[in-house]
Amino acid sequence: MKLHYILLLFIGFFWAPQTLEAQSFSQEIGITTGPVFFKSDYGLRKNRETNFGNVGLGVGLVHYINFAYSADCQCYHSVRYFNNHFKVRTELTYTETNLNHFGKEADKNTLGGLQLRSMHGKATTLEIGPSLEWYPFLIRISERARDRKIAPYLNLGVNLVLYNPEVATDLPGRIGAINNTFNEFLAPFGEESYIDPSSGTTYALKGGAGARYNITKRSSVLIDLRWTYYGNDFIDGLDHDNPQNKYNDWAFWINVGYVFYLNM
């Protein structure tokens, strides 16, 4: 990944909240982490070994704008639906997943099976982006620890993604050669290669659901279920033109986190 892109992401993530200090919002910061189930061109679709074998780890820094509470007057805003049911969430996340081929083809005692078992990869992403988070219950009530402590929510958003894949083989030679690469990952003559470990940028659509549990009046823990669909199929370094490759790479992330309210 290019260093200046990473620096811009970090600067933007930490600078943006400072520009909002003078506004009549409250702010929250937090951290999340958990397993990432990465769905890519490695393994077979709907295969149990693939689903539970290609699992990585993600960590995230989150920032919230809470419209229900005003930092200026240390009070709740008047009752408006948007103020009392929505927050804007900005998140910077890093994920890393080691990838292997699983399934009946990889288990075969054939040259193709050996080629698949010997092929390994890694999908690494750095992502930043906003999402709109909707709370079905009033935020002002959910944030009073003595009242309703559990606050469920849904969210939807978009990320800028920097990705840096790795693709390799344990067999002699460089991956992509006829003798060490499974035939489905070999592009026909004249077509672009199906294997490209170059880093790049793309977008991702994200959506999910979760719940917060208030532990004090100024902090809460959360559990978050996140689905991310990438705008590029080379997040894992592979993009083969075969019937079973119907979708771009995507991921399902289960994470837990801690949130602290800055000015409440």
Q: Where are the domains of the chain?
A: 3-15+30-261
57 touches 96 (CB < 8 A): yes
pLDDT of residue 36: 97
pLDDT of residue 5: 52
What CATH code is assigned to 3-15+30-261? 2.40.160.20
Q: What are phi and psi of 74, to 5 degrees?
A: 55, 45
Q: Which of 58-67, 73-82, 96-105, 226-235 has the lowest mean pLDDT?
A: 73-82
CA distances from 167 to 129, 176, 195, 250, 252 (A): 27, 10, 8, 18, 21
Check residue 145 and give left, alpha or beta (phi > 0: left; psi -120 to 50: alpha).
Answer: alpha
**pLDDT exceeds 60 at position 75:** no
